[in-house]
Amino acid sequence: MPLRLIFMGTPEFSVPTLLELVAHGHEIAAVYTRAPKPAGRGMKLQATPVEQEARRLGIPVLTPSTLKTPEALEEFRAHNADAAVVVAYGMILPQPILDAPKLGCFNLHASLLPRWRGAAPINRAVMSGDAETGVMVMKMDVGLDTGDVAMAERLTITDRMTASDVHDALARLGADLMVRAMAALERGGLQLTRQSEAGVTYAAKIDKAEAKIDWSQPARAVLRHIHGLSPFPGAWSEVPVEGEAVRVKVLRCEPAKGSGAPGAVLDDLLTIACGDGAIRIVELQRAGKAPMKVAEFLRGTPLKSGARFS
């Protein structure tokens, strides 16, 4: 028998899991997501990607501002769910909520726990030069990503991959993993393993102050920093154009040969010297402009010989 589930999620990352659960016949009693926020030039209220998908599927949507009130708990219990599936919901679940579904609450987390518990596991894995990451299904407790783990899938991170690339790959892997976990739960065969106390790291929320590129770092560290912040918030630097410092976000780059003073432009392909080695910019974005390939950027932004990113 398919399970009766509550689904709790907010961003694009959550959508594939919702769709896969529906496709595999599980009954979604309700979707919980964050309330609509003003967005775009007109600052109109915009529903989350999960809400948009749930409404398309005809699933009831709830957007409570808190789950800590007796009313919120009563409403949650009234769904009479076998389990809750939580994917990047963005709100802490208090113990009474965790205890409400018969079989518990299960979270899809985008790292190989206990490494990168917390808010920004994908960005931190890329920025730190990790060779691999993954997704895990965890039975939730009140700690920060400390629950017992049921299943995992691994993903190799190459130096070509941005946080966006890793995000999209893990969203697909995670959807399949959660469906398999719910099938095992349905059969009564979902095995849980305690997380190791060794190797715990925390993926702190990205601070915009971290986004400035430090060209004195080795080339690979610069590349991973850029890719780990792409596309948002975007690693940035300033370059002089016609006597004015122009801020650009670097969205994608690749290893390159060359050396020079950190930040120096080494050729007309936009190879930039780092503290050790160099990188070549592939895609970037000027403030207020759309992302563009480097050739298009250079056509509209001529850089003088000896220009230097700072």
Q: Return the bridge partners of 133, or none.
A: 155
Please give the radius of gyration of the chain, using alpha carbons only, rounded to the nearest integer.
22
| Position with higher pLDDT, 240 vs 211 | 211
Calculate what percentage of the chain has a pLDDT beyond 90: 91
pLDDT at residue 301, rounded to an integer: 85
C-alpha count within 13 angstroms, C-beta hemisphere, residue 277: 13
Q: For residue 243, name the pLDDT band (cuts at 50, 70, 90).
A: confident
pLDDT at residue 39, rounded to an integer: 82
Average pLDDT along the chain: 96
Q: What is the pLDDT of residues 39-49, one digit of tens each?
A: 877 889 999 99
Mean pLDDT within 129-156:
97
- CA dist., res. 106 & res. 185, Å (int): 10
- CA dist., res. 166 & res. 112, Å (int): 13
- 305, pLDDT greater than 80: no
The region that residue 74 occupies, defined by phi over 0 for left and psi between -120 and 50 for alpha, beta otherwise, is: alpha
- CA dist., res. 159 & res. 261, Å (int): 23
pLDDT at residue 174, rounded to an integer: 98
- 251, pLDDT greater than 80: yes
Task: State both tokens at 175.
Answer: 């959807």
Is the link from the previous residue into 64 a cis peptide, with omega within 30 of 0?
Answer: no
Could you give the domains of the chain?
4-202 (3.40.50.170), 208-300 (3.10.25.10)
Q: Both ends of the chain: CA-CA distance in Å? A: 60
- 304, pLDDT greater than 80: no
pLDDT at residue 33, rounded to an integer: 98
pLDDT at residue 244, rounded to an integer: 86
Q: For residue 198, name the pLDDT band (cuts at 50, 70, 90).
A: very high
Closest CA to 223 of 269, 254, 259, 257: 254
pLDDT at residue 53, rounded to an integer: 98
